[in-house]
Amino acid sequence: MEKPLLPRESGQFVAERSKDVFIRDAGVQKVAEMLFSLRRSEFLTASGWKVANPLAPAPTSDQALNWLFVVDTMNFCFWPDNEAQQCEVTYKGATYTGFMTLCAAITRAMEEGVPITDPKYFSKMSVEELGKVLRSDNETAMPMVQERHQVLTEGGRVLLEHGGSFRSFISQAGNDAQKMVELIVEKIPSYRDEATYEGRKISFNKRAQILVADFWAVMEARGEGYITNIDCLTMFADYRVPQALVYLGVLEYSDALMEALKNGELLPSGDRREVEIRGCSIWSVELIKERLHKMVQEKDGKVCSINSAIIDFYLWPFAKQHHREMAHIPIHPTRCIFY
């Protein structure tokens, strides 16, 4: 059976053949320069993750790692059918939408005494119990609660088969980030994010990669960031970062694709256009990283340690912060469990 290309190779393979999504060199240069100006800021470090997500528990306990697993296992598809009717969760006086509703809901449940980070509990919880944990403040429920329940209970059962915690599970891969991604994808089917493009099997593995990157960020914050091969991770191909890449001039959509998205056409998972958006996003960030590393070497005389995961950790909050300015650029709507 043919093994899929790894995400980086998949991105290059798609970008070289794409018919509706194009990478623009001027945009790559612009973003590389923007990141170069921020190269010494906390935003471009692994610990910048915690700044971007203040709802995560303190990284000092292994409960924080189980929290990551619960959140990243259900980290997909938050866009509403109607932009004016979004699921909202208020926690400690702040109201959240999108992915942050999930973070707020899980942290709220922990405060309410629900053992939501314990695999013994979440591997067997009912749909109704999860629905209560993920409850919205308004009439608009979080999308795909049934699917979230299915993947969370599946993931919980896998953890119980491998020591009963995310830490014990992931330790089987040693300290190698690539082996961690492979372990997650092999053992937990819902993390297997693959497609076929131009006759080749490819992979994006968005949630598996972000779970490893989040694990690395927590371990860095604990002073235990000994994970090797972290540069194997690409950006995490979702629907929000591509929107930012279009806004920043890195990606350009064909007129036909832009019109389809503006008309609200749903792109099925695996649709050629959807694959091109995700693949070109991955490869464009690889090109940005290359350009940034070259600039740092030439101007600072140093080797740059900023990797694709850190660039994604910066671009995702950037997209959230600039959502009003980017409102004229549609996201690509795909209902799936992969992102």
Report, as residue numbers or ranges, the catalytic residues.
Answer: 238
The neighbouring-strand residues paired with 22 are 252
**Strand, helix or coil for residue 195:** strand
Contact between 232 and 212 (Cβ < 8 Å): no
CA–CA separation, 102 and 72 (whole Å)? 10
Close Cβ partners of 47 (under 8 Å, ≥ 6 residues apart): 217, 220, 221
CA–CA separation, 144 and 73 (whole Å)? 13
Q: Quick one: which of 41, 85, 77, 98 has its CA closest to 338? A: 77
With both helix axes pointing from N to C terminus, report the angle between 272-300 and 308-321 in degrees, rounded to the nearest 10: 110
Q: Which amino acid belongs to residue 119? A: P
| DSSP alpha helix (H) spans, the chain | 7-15, 25-37, 48-52, 62-73, 99-111, 119-122, 127-133, 145-161, 166-170, 177-187, 206-221, 240-247, 255-262, 272-300, 308-321
What torsion do the CA atoms of 18, 19, 21, 22 make, to the nearest 10 degrees? 70
**Strand, helix or coil for residue 21:** strand
- For tokens 């944990």, name the residue: 133
